Amino acid sequence: MSSFSRKRRLTAAAMTVLAVGTSATACGSGSGSTDTKDADSGTYTVWDPYPQFAKGSAWVKLLDKCGTEAGVKVERTGFDTSDLTNKTLLAAQQGNSADLLVVDNPVVSTLAEAGVLTTTAENKLDTSKVDANLLAAGQSGGKTYGTPIGANTLALYYNKTVLKEAGVDVSTIKDWKSLTAALEKVEKAGKKGITFSAIGTEEGSFQFLPWFWGAGAELTELDSAQAVSALTLWKDWLDKGYAPNSVLNNTQTTSWQEFASGDYAFAENGTWQLANAEKAGFDYGVLPIPASAGGNAAAPIGGEFVTIPVQGDTGRYATSQKLAACLTSTQNLYDTDTTLSYVAPTSEVQDKQVAANPDLKPWVDAVKAAKGRTSDDLGTKYPKISEQMWKAVQTSLSGSKSPKDALAAAQSAVK
């Protein structure tokens, strides 16, 4: 019997897994029935992490359209991301999984390792056009467990007026040295430098990763010299007043609110703030986060994967595949990613997005350089590594330990 048709058993460890925190757009809490389908009915269940989208929204209309094209009715429930992961594990244990699951990309490996998901080789989902770095976020053990519906990531928003008054030419910012020099000019001009989120949660790790990876550090060695240089950069910015102490408690939302005040030159934030940027009332630009020695740093990939969970009734897979293929078709990706403020996962659709909105070009560049948090086969090891990372950032920025000592303690805790 093939692994595709065999009902998989959840590992005991999987039932105690805490969901990896999301670091993309903020979602409200979802509600709704978790009951799935009658195996003989023409109703297919879809669970997603978009409780903010109600009936009549573009997303729900797309789901209904894909259901109609497949000849079935779609019953959709939107959950908070953490709630979705836990309910998915429970449903799998009970043999009652949804037919289609749209899940935050770091959670894919958690569900895959738990035996919850089918592979693309099994379910015949076509991923040939997807950018390799984005697809890697949904891979574990050399296998692929879904296809991305879209991606977001981090970059630097900048206030053109503040930089002009400080005499900073943004085109000169190519690496950490030139960025720090720009912050020095801004501070001397009486303005504020840069704001970001260093809070003690996944959001803090998410925002630190571009600097960590931009230094050439690897998540398997939190205490490397490269990692220490990244944390030292942030610590020096706080010590010199280039970044505020509020970063220790800032979420990405409160950090954005600081930038929206108009006093800051830079803010590290994501594509999900584009609509707010348009409302900020000042001219802004977007700059990919520079790596230590130049070039674009790899920022972490946000966004979701469309996956097909394991079913006891294998006859359902063909229709589930039709639904997944519909949701990730070229035209539907364009419409959906515009709705979600996502960069599409394929070059073909990215080109369409930039043609329609040239302001998306820096974001496309950032996404092409981005990296999955669970890439490099970290899988379910990532949450523990991330927790020690954000603790080290908090410990260092608060002055309790040096960057070197904080990261050494983090690496020791991971081992």
SS3 3: coil
Q: What is the secondary structure of 266-327 as a DSSP string? A: EEEEEGGGHHHHHHSSS-EEEEPPBPTTSSBPPPBPB-EEEE-B--SSGGGHHHHHHHHHHH
Residue 35 clears pLDDT 50, i.e. is over it: no
Convert the pLDDT of each residue in 95-118 to its tens digit.
999 999 999 999 999 999 999 999
**pLDDT value at residue 6:** 36
Residue 31 clears pLDDT 80, i.e. is over it: no
**pLDDT value at residue 377:** 81
Residues 6+ apart with CB under 8 A from 203: 21, 23, 197, 251, 252
Pull the structure tokens for residue 135.
């697809």
**pLDDT value at residue 41:** 61
Pull the structure tokens for residue 298.
């790899």
Query: pLDDT higher for 390 or 20?
Result: 390
Helix axes of 252-260 and 202-214: crossing angle, nearest 10 degrees: 70
- Top CATH class, 13-152+302-369: alpha beta
Q: Would 13-152+302-369 and 154-299+378-414 be classified into the same CATH topology? A: yes
Residue 27's pLDDT band (boundaries 50, 70, 90)? very low
Convert the pLDDT of each residue in 267-315 to its tens digit.
999 998 988 999 999 999 999 999 999 999 999 999 999 999 999 999 9
The percent of residues above 90 in pLDDT, for the chain, comes to 81
**pLDDT value at residue 2:** 38
Mean pLDDT, all residues of the chain: 89
CATH superfamily of 154-299+378-414: Periplasmic binding protein-like II (3.40.190.10)
Query: pLDDT higher for 247 or 57?
Result: 247
Per-domain residue ranges for the chain?
13-152+302-369, 154-299+378-414
Buried b or exposed e, range 93-102, using 16+ CB within 10 angstroms: eeebbbbbbb
Angstrom distance (rounded) from CA 276 to CA 284: 11
